Amino acid sequence: MKKRVPVDFVDQRLTERLSRTGLRFTAQRRHVYSTLLKKRDHPSAEEVFMRAKAEMPDLSMATVYNTLDMLVKCGLVRQVVHERGASRYCSNMQEHHHFHCEECGGTFDIDKEPETDDPEIHMPPGFSIHHFEILFRGVCPECAAKAAKSAPNGTLRLHP
């Protein structure tokens, strides 16, 4: 039996969202979206392009940019903006925060704890919050382990 469910799911979700915004559903757009779903490691636009192009050689960078822009507008993909470096794209639409590793540049999903949903932030009058997200910055477990290994004995104190 052929496993068709994921493709159908992508088609259905994309068609539905696109029709709401009046955009056309093309094979290229679908391919860019399924590329994002395939490996959820928060790739940059360039990385999405490289991966998608591998299977669809006539795909252009402009199409990838347009499609990513459109997917963000449709609410199917989130754009993760870093102060430095390129934007990343996240296809995990569950509410979550992001952690940015300053060593390897990786972006990781951090589940939102229900108790943090009420931020102790007081908005000036007139502002209403629809959504908030926190971007953590630091070192991921892999990089922390590497640093611990390469540090000469006793010079790296992880637990002060």
- Neighbour-count burial of 43, counting CB atoms closer than 10 A to its CB (0-12 exposed, 13-18 middle, 19+ buried): buried
User: Which of 28, 66, 79, 92 is in the footprint of Zn ion by CB under 5 A?
Assistant: 92
* 104 near Zn ion (CB under 5 A): yes
Name the minimum Å distance from CB 65 to Zn ion.
20
CA distance 79 to 90: 6
CA distance 56 to 31: 8
* 134 near Zn ion (CB under 5 A): no
* 72 near Zn ion (CB under 5 A): no
* 109 near Zn ion (CB under 5 A): yes
* 90 near Zn ion (CB under 5 A): yes
Given the complex with Zn ion, which of 7 and 93 has the nearer CB atom?
Answer: 93
Interaction site with Zn ion (CB under 5 A): 90, 92, 101, 103-104, 106, 109, 140, 143
